[in-house]
Amino acid sequence: MAKEIERKFLVKGDAWRELATGTAYRQGYLSTVKERTVRVRTIDDKGFLTVKGITIGATRVEYEYEIPAADANAMLDDLCEQPIIEKHRYKIDHGGLVWEIDEFGGVNQGLIVAEVELESEAQSFDKPQWIGDEIDNDPRYYNSNLIAHPYTKW
């Protein structure tokens, strides 16, 4: 069983932009119930299917599998809840960890979130100067919730 331990923050300012280039992501959800989410995603020319369990603290189980990009695109267009999440992901090394910054587009335009994966919930880490408020426990920022309640409508 795979476990994901991550912390999520809002991003402040634009200093981070000089540190990385972005990759386009499209993602959608086949299931967004609290106990499990089933996500379909494309990154460049690859497709992925991901199943995640309920988050307890900063930890949850996660299973991810590569699938044909054509299948992923068909699921995004025909099966997933709408609207699809559109974003650019940037990866930045800082303090021995990789920070992932998601800059959302479409109905979530204006939202920029950073997350970092950890080895344990107790792991200490250095926050870059462009990291703002922590949002781990605010469900409004879960990608699966941004479908029903887009950022531009808050």
Provide the phi-psi class of 95: left if phi over 0, else alpha when psi is between -120 and 50, else beta: left
At 113-122, the pLDDT tens digits run 999 999 999 9
* pLDDT exceeds 70 at position 20: yes
**pLDDT band at 3; cut points 50, 70, 90:** confident
**Six token digits for residue 20:** 């990385």
Please state the φ and ψ torsions of residue 5, each to the nearest 5 degrees.
-120, 115
Residue 90 annotated to the active site: no
At 6-18, the pLDDT tens digits run 999 999 999 999 9
**pLDDT band at 2; cut points 50, 70, 90:** confident
More confident residue, 27 or 57: 27
Question: Domains (ranges, CATH) in the chain?
Answer: 3-153 (2.40.320.10)
Measured in whole angstroms, the distance separating CA 145 from the mean position of its chain's CA atoms is 11
Calculate the alpha carbon distances from 85 to 25, 34, 57 in Å: 8, 18, 25
What does the pLDDT read at residue 6? 94
Intra-chain end-to-end CA distance of the chain, in Å: 36
Listed residue (48, 43, 63, 49) closest to 1, CA to CA: 63
How much of the chain, in percent, has pLDDT values that exceed 70?
Answer: 99
Q: Which of 25, 29, 90, 141 is catalytic?
A: 29
| Cis peptide bond N-terminal to 150, omega within 30 | no
pTM of the entire predicted model: 0.90
What does the pLDDT read at residue 1? 57
